[in-house]
Amino acid sequence: MSRLTIQTLLFFAVQISTVLAGGIHVINFRSPNLFPEGLAWDPTGQRFLVGSLRHRTISGVSDTGIVKTLISDPFLPENVTILGLAVDPRNNRVLAAVHALAPLPPFNALAAYDLSSRRRLFLSPLPSEGEHQRAIANDVAVDFEGNAYVTNAAGNYIWKVNKKGEASTLSKSARFTEHPVLIDAEYSFCGLNGVVYNGKGYLLVVQTNTGKMFKVDTEDGVARDVVLNEDLVGADGVALRSDGVVLVVSLKRVWFVKSDDGWGRGVVFDRIELDDEGFPTSVVVGQRERAYVLHGHIVKGTLGNQWESFKIEEVRSGKEKRASENVWILVMMVGLGFAYFLFWRFQMKEPLKKMNKKIK
Ligand SMILES: *[C@@H]1O[C@H](CO)[C@@H](O)[C@H](O)[C@H]1NC(C)=O
């Protein structure tokens, strides 16, 4: 029995070290000139969803890299870009921010599609009449009632589109335009970008060109600065883990941010550097709380190049990994100690038996 226990424990020790050495999950996928910018996780279908620079499609990507076109919508104007995506699991829909890049005629809308029938539920133009700046519908988040919130990266405000598809402006807060632009001219036009709904009646929104984060009330649109220990300059996509940690991605890195006061303040507690070769734009939390970044090579597409290999890659905080490793090492040491104890008892059994016999 004790021999078996020792074997079992050794088996677990091997398993644990395999987990420790376990690699980052990388999903390579191929699709000619797809150039996806937006990324979402569909928990029902257990797949990633990605948009496209010009194909007017939303594709599903399995965790082994199999790509399927789920939605293809030729009703959208030719060559428009599907930017941000959000899955509304309660209503089994996917929401997509649709934007026409210059020199195409201006077009900004939120599209909603049913994930089972794959039919379009609505296509709602986002109002921007009378503005001198060309609006950019960039990212989208959805609340528990099915309301969608879309950032306007050029106009620095937020639209709201209710469950029925009725669009309005949620917030044109002065907070969004009072911080200095800190980014190179190339991306200086890009303001409000990644957005997540935090589940408690507010959004967290990041601003690319200032590196700021805002907390925005979804009822009245009142916005407050989230005071951070560093500016997230170049911030693009945002994701929220169920433990409250927020991940923000830029072309160069992922920041891990947390708050212990409901996002009055936030602290960057870790960052990992990314290779900008793949032009990372979006981050999402997938299965088992694992976070993934999309490398969609979109800049190659906007320059008119051909390309077909793209990547969704897991990102892990080194600090969190070390903490969990320490727990595993402790578990392993206790396990091995116990195994040694059992082994010792087993060794002692025979001599003890013999002694007993002799006494008898
Ligand atoms: C869309 O893109 C294709 C290929 O680049 C081009 O031939 C076509 O003229 C474009 N359509 C519009 C409306 O710009």
Say yes or no: CB of residue 104 within 6 Å of ligand 1: yes
Look at residue 18 and tell me whether its pLDDT is greater than 50: no
Q: For the chain, what is the mean pLDDT? A: 92
In angstroms, what is the span from residue 54 Cα to ligand 1's centroid?
A: 9
pTM, to two decimals: 0.87
Phi, psi of 347, rounded to the nearest 5 degrees: -60, -40
Q: 37 alpha carbon to ligand 1 midpoint, in Å?
A: 19
25-315: CATH topology is Neuraminidase (2.120.10)
Instruction: Tell which atom from ligand 1 comes closest to the C-alpha of 103.
Output: 14
- Per-residue pLDDT reduced to its tens digit, 253-289: 999 999 999 999 999 999 999 999 999 999 999 999 9
Our mutation pick for probing the ligand 1 site, out of 53, 54, 79, 81, counting the most ligand atoms within 8 A of Cβ, is 79
Q: What is the pLDDT of residue 342?
A: 83
Element (H, E) at 243: none
Distance (angstroms) between ligand 1 centre and the Cα of 97 equals 20
Comparing 81-85, 208-212, 323-327, the range with the smallest average pLDDT is 323-327
* Closest ligand 1 atom to Cα of 304: 5
pLDDT at 20 over 70: no
| pLDDT tens digits, one per residue of 188-246 | 999 999 999 999 999 999 999 999 999 999 999 999 999 999 999 999 999 999 999 99
- Binned at pLDDT 50, 70 and 90, residue 23 comes out as confident
Domain coordinates in residue numbering, the chain: 1-24+317-360, 25-315
Q: Nearest C-alpha to atom 3 of ligand 1 is from which residue? A: 79
Q: What is the C-alpha separation between 290 and 41, in angstroms, rounded? A: 11
- Please write the tens of the pLDDT for every residue from 289-312: 999 999 999 999 999 999 999 999
Per-position b or e across 79-93, b if 16+ CB within 10 A of its CB? ebbbbbbbbbeebeb
- Biggest alpha carbon distance in the chain? 105
Q: Is the CB of 178 under 6 A from ligand 1?
A: no
Amino acid at 38: G
Q: How far apart are CA 317 and CA 322, in angstroms?
A: 9
Ligand 1 and 78: CB distance under 6 A:
yes
Phi, psi at 219, each rounded to 5°: -85, -55
Protein residue whose Cα sits closest to atom 6 of ligand 1: 79
Q: Measured from the CA of 104, which atom of ligand 1 is nearest?
A: 14
Residue 228 CA to residue 256 CA, distance in Å, equals 12
| Gap between the Cα atoms of 181 and 139, Å rounded | 20
Instruction: Assess whether pLDDT exceeds 80 at residue 123.
Output: yes
pLDDT beyond 80 at 355: no
Which residue has a Cα nearest atom 1 of ligand 1?
Answer: 79
Ligand 1, atom 7: closest residue by C-alpha: 79
Closest Cα to residue 194, out of 147, 221, 162, 158?
Answer: 158
Return the number of other C-beta atoms located less than 10 Å from residue 351's C-beta. Answer: 9
Mutational pocket test of ligand 1: of 53, 78, 302, the residue with most ligand atoms within 8 Å of the beta carbon: 78
CB of 79 sitting under 6 A from ligand 1? yes
Distance 74 CA to ligand 1 centre (A): 13
Q: Is the CB of 101 under 6 A from ligand 1?
A: no
The pLDDT score that the predictor gives to residue 311 is 98
Which is more confidently placed, 154 or 333? 154
